[in-house]
Amino acid sequence: MHLIEALCRLNAIDQEWDEKGRLYQAVRQRLADSSPLEAARQAQEARRTALSQKRGALRDGELELSTLQEKVRQAEEALYSGRITSSRELENLRRDCEHLKQRISQIEESLLDLMEAVEALERETSQGEAELAAFEAHWAAEREADTALYHELRARLQALQEERERLRSQIEARALVVYDALRRTKGGTPLAPVRDGICQACRVSVPSGKAQMIERGDETIVLCEGCGRILYRG
């Protein structure tokens, strides 16, 4: 294989390696990061917990209300039964009833607020369950696609590495030194095509002598006098 042709082929392999290598790393990171799924599940678990707590508070309030209502019933029954003749006892009993009724009124207001809160949380939790199920399905589909892409990229990178090593073994060492140095300093594009006597990378005219060497396909590296890249007939 001609030197410049081999370098062009090597450059194509290296550029594909760079592109697929970046994608491979991105896919690996996505596969390793389950934080979005965990965050979605934790958010839904927080809604479930909040709903459970509000329901518990509602049950406790209803139980307290029922207990107080029974106390009022018993107190009123005693108050109007005629069994108590002491005016002081009757007054104390009336006061107890009033206090109990005030407390009942407070609890009833609190229960109304709790019922509204429970209804709102039930709606949020139900919606959250649907959204989480959809998110998990989407996540699983994306994870399956990423896993397939991961294996595909890994296989392609291995093939590229083998081809790269084979090709580099056929290129003389001095040419590889120049190629590798330019690849590092020229953003991964060590070669540039020449068309109509002009370097297509930096738009600098190529001297006629160099242009003739490029046109003949000499086994010699010709560098652009503008950008320093290896020139080839484009």
Answer yes or no: do 60 and 120 share one domain: yes
The per-residue pLDDT for 136 is 98
The residue segments making up the domain with residue 179 are 173-233
Three-state helix/strand/coil letters over the chain: CCHHHHHHHHHHHHHHHHHHHHHHHHHHHHHHCCHHHHHHHHHHHHHHHHHHHHHHHHHHHHHHHHHHHHHHHHHHHHHHHCCCCCHHHHHHHHHHHHHHHHHHHHHHHHHHHHHHHHHHHHHHHHHHHHHHHHHHHHHHHHHHHHHHHHHHHHHHHHHHHHHHHHHHHCCCHHHHHHHHHHHHHCCCCCEEEEECCEECCCCCECCHHHHHHHHHCCCCCCECCCCCCEEEEC
The per-residue pLDDT for 206 is 95
Q: Which portions of the chain are predicted below pLDDT 70?
A: 1
Q: What is the tally of structural domains in the chain?
A: 2
Whether 56 maps to a domain, the answer reads yes
The per-residue pLDDT for 154 is 97
- Scan for tokens 């291995």, then name that residue: 158
The per-residue pLDDT for 91 is 87
The per-residue pLDDT for 190 is 97
Answer yes or no: do 153 and 194 share one domain: no
In whole angstroms, give the CA distance from residue 188 to residue 13. Answer: 11
Answer yes or no: do 153 and 221 share one domain: no
Answer yes or no: do 81 and 137 share one domain: yes
The per-residue pLDDT for 41 is 97
The per-residue pLDDT for 66 is 97
Whether 28 maps to a domain, the answer reads no
Whether 27 maps to a domain, the answer reads no
Answer yes or no: do 181 and 80 share one domain: no
Answer yes or no: do 156 and 180 share one domain: no
The identity of residue 216, as a single letter, is: R
Query: How much is the pTM?
Result: 0.75
The per-residue pLDDT for 157 is 98
Whether 23 maps to a domain, the answer reads no
Answer yes or no: do 145 and 204 share one domain: no
The per-residue pLDDT for 15 is 96
Residues 18-58: tens digit of each pLDDT: 999 999 999 999 999 999 999 999 999 999 999 999 999 99
Q: What is the CATH classification number for the domain harbouring 57?
A: 1.10.287
Q: Is 2 left (phi over 0), alpha (psi -120 to 50) or beta?
A: beta
The per-residue pLDDT for 217 is 83
The domain boundary residue, chosen from 145, 169, 193: 169
Which two tokens mark 228?
């320093």
In whole angstroms, give the CA distance from residue 121 to residue 165. Answer: 62
The domain boundary residue, chosen from 115, 149, 169: 169
Which two tokens mark 101?
């009724």
Query: Tell me, what DSSP letter sits at residue 19?
Result: H
- Scan for tokens 């396909």, then name that residue: 217
Answer yes or no: do 50 and 100 share one domain: yes
In whole angstroms, give the CA distance from residue 72 to residue 108. Answer: 15
CA nearest to 178, candidates 224, 210, 137, 143: 224
Answer yes or no: do 192 and 128 share one domain: no
The domain boundary residue, chosen from 143, 169, 195: 169
